[in-house]
Amino acid sequence: MVRDGRRCAQEGFLVSIGLIALLDDIAGLAKVAAASLDDVAAQAGRAGVKAAGVVIDDAAVTPRYVVGFAAERELPIVGRIALGSLRNKLLFLLPAALALGAFAPWAITPLLMLGGAYLCYEGSEKVYEALFPHQAHAHEAQRDGAAGNAQALEDQKVSSAIKTDFILSAEIMAITLAALPEGSFWMKAAVLAVVAVGITVAVYGGVALIVKADDAGVAMAGNTSRSAFGSLVRGFGRALVKGMPGFLKILAIVGTAAMIWVGGGILVHGLETYGLPEIGHAIHAVAVQAASVAGPLAGIVEWLVTAAGSGLVGLAVGAALIPITSFVLAPAWNSLARLRMRAA
C-alpha cells in the first residue's frame, strides 16, 4: 500500500511537471504571438504613414460622389463605396500585390502607370466639365449612356467611385509593400490586411462625418436650451450649416486636383523607372530652385511645386485621353455591352 502511494505520488509529480512544461510552452507561444502582433501593428503603422499622401487624396476625392443626392442616400452611398473599397483591397489587391511581388515584380510599374493614366483622365474630365459643361455632358452621355433614373445615376456614381478607389488603393498597397522589410509571406499578408482595413475605416469614417456634418449642424441649430452653452451650440450649428456647402466645393476641387497630381506623379515615377527621367528631373530642379528662396517654408514650397509639376503632366495626359475615350474606347465598350445584352 505504501508502495502504491509512492507510485501515485511519483506519477502525480510527473504529471505536474508535464503540465508545468506544457503551460511554459503555451506561455512561450503566447509571447511569440504577441510579439508577432506587435510587429504587424508596428510595420502597418510605419507603412500607413508612408502612404498618408495617397490616403488624404482618397479622402478628398470621395465626398464629391455623394454631392447632389438626397440626404437619406448619402450614408448608404458612402457605405456601398466603402464595401467596394474593402473588397478591392482584400480580395483583389492584397493577393495581387503578394503574387506580383513574388513572381512578377516587373509588372507592378506598368500596372500602376495604367492606373495613373486613369486617374489623370478622371480628374481632367472634371476640369473639362467645369470649363465646357455642354460638351462635357455630351461626352458623358457618349461614354456612359443616359441614366434612366435616380437609381441608375447612383449606381453609375458608386461604380465610378469604386474604380477610382481601386487605383488609389493599388497605390496605397504598392507603397505599403515597398515599405515592408524582408519577412515571411504571412507577415507581409497580415500587414497589408491591417493597412487595408485600417485605412478603409479611417477614410470612409471621415467621409461619412463630412457628408453628414450639415445634418448635425441642423440638429445643433434646433437646440432649445436657454443656457449659454445652448446658445453656443446653436451658433456653431448655424455656422456648420452655412459653411458646409462651401467646404464641400473646396473639397471637390481638392479631390479633382489630387487625382490629377497623384496620377501624374505615378506616370513621372514610372517613366523614371523605364530610363526616361528627364521630366522628373526637370520638376525636381524647379522645385529645389523655388525652395531655395522660400526660407523657412522651403519644404512646403518644394512639395507644392512638385505637385504642380506632376499635375501639369497629369492634366496633359488626361486631356489627351478624353477624345480617345469618346471616339475609340467608349464606342467599342458600348458595342460590346450591346452584344452581351443581345446574347443574354
Query: 319: pLDDT confidence band, cut at 50, 70 and 90?
Result: very high
The residue range of the domain holding 183 is 38-343
Residue 3 maps to a domain: no
For the chain, helix (H) and strand (E) counts, in that order, are 13, 0
Tally of residues, the chain: 344
Is 60 exceeded by the pLDDT of residue 165?
Answer: yes
Which has the higher per-residue pLDDT, 12 or 271? 271
Residue 26 maps to a domain: no
d(CA 317, CA 322): 9
The overall average pLDDT reported for the chain is 77
Is 60 exceeded by the pLDDT of residue 14?
Answer: no
Using CA of residue 202, residue 208, residue 211, residue 213, what is the dihedral sign?
Answer: negative
Determine the average pLDDT of the residues in 142-151: 58
d(CA 33, CA 199): 24
Four-point Cα dihedral 147, 153, 155, 158, nearest 10:
130
Other C-beta atoms lying within 10 Å of the C-beta of residue 276: 11
Residue 262 maps to a domain: yes
Burial class, 114, CB count within 10 angstroms (exposed 0-12 / middle 13-18 / buried 19+) = middle
Residue 267 maps to a domain: yes
Angle between helices 133-144 and 108-131 (to 10 degrees): 130
Residue in 109, 127, 105 with CA at minimum distance from that of residue 117: 109
pLDDT given for residue 60 in this prediction: 62
pLDDT given for residue 46 in this prediction: 53
Residue 4 maps to a domain: no
Residue 223: left if φ>0, alpha if ψ -120 to 50, beta else—which one?
Answer: beta
Domain count within the chain: 1
d(CA 216, CA 298): 39
Residue 45 maps to a domain: yes
Q: Name the DSSP letter for residue 181.
A: P
State the cell numbers at 125.
474630365
Q: Which residues of 220-247 are buried (b: 16+ CB within 10 A; e: fewer)?
A: bbebeeeeeeeeebbeebeebbeebeee
Residue in 79, 78, 80, 83 with CA at minimum distance from that of residue 67: 78
pLDDT in tens, 287-314: 999 999 988 888 899 989 999 999 999 9
Residue 173 maps to a domain: yes
pLDDT in tens, 175-207: 777 767 776 778 788 888 888 888 888 888 888
pLDDT given for residue 11 in this prediction: 43
Query: Which of 1-15, 41-55, 327-341 is the most confident on average?
Result: 327-341
Which has the higher per-residue pLDDT, 85 or 138? 85
Q: What are phi and psi of 68, to 5 degrees?
A: 100, -10
Asked if 258 contacts 124 with a C-beta cutoff of 8 angstroms, the reply is no
Residue 253 maps to a domain: yes
pLDDT given for residue 36 in this prediction: 43
pLDDT given for residue 174 in this prediction: 78
286 Cβ contact partners less than 8 Å away, ≥ 6 residues apart: 305, 309
Query: Which of 91-100, 246-255, 332-341 is the most confident on average?
Result: 91-100
Residue in 108, 102, 62 with CA at minimum distance from that of residue 82: 62
pLDDT given for residue 206 in this prediction: 83
Residue in 97, 63, 77 with CA at minimum distance from that of residue 153: 77
Which has the higher per-residue pLDDT, 100 or 252? 100
pLDDT in tens, 25-72: 434 433 433 344 445 555 545 544 545 555 655 666 666 666 666 777
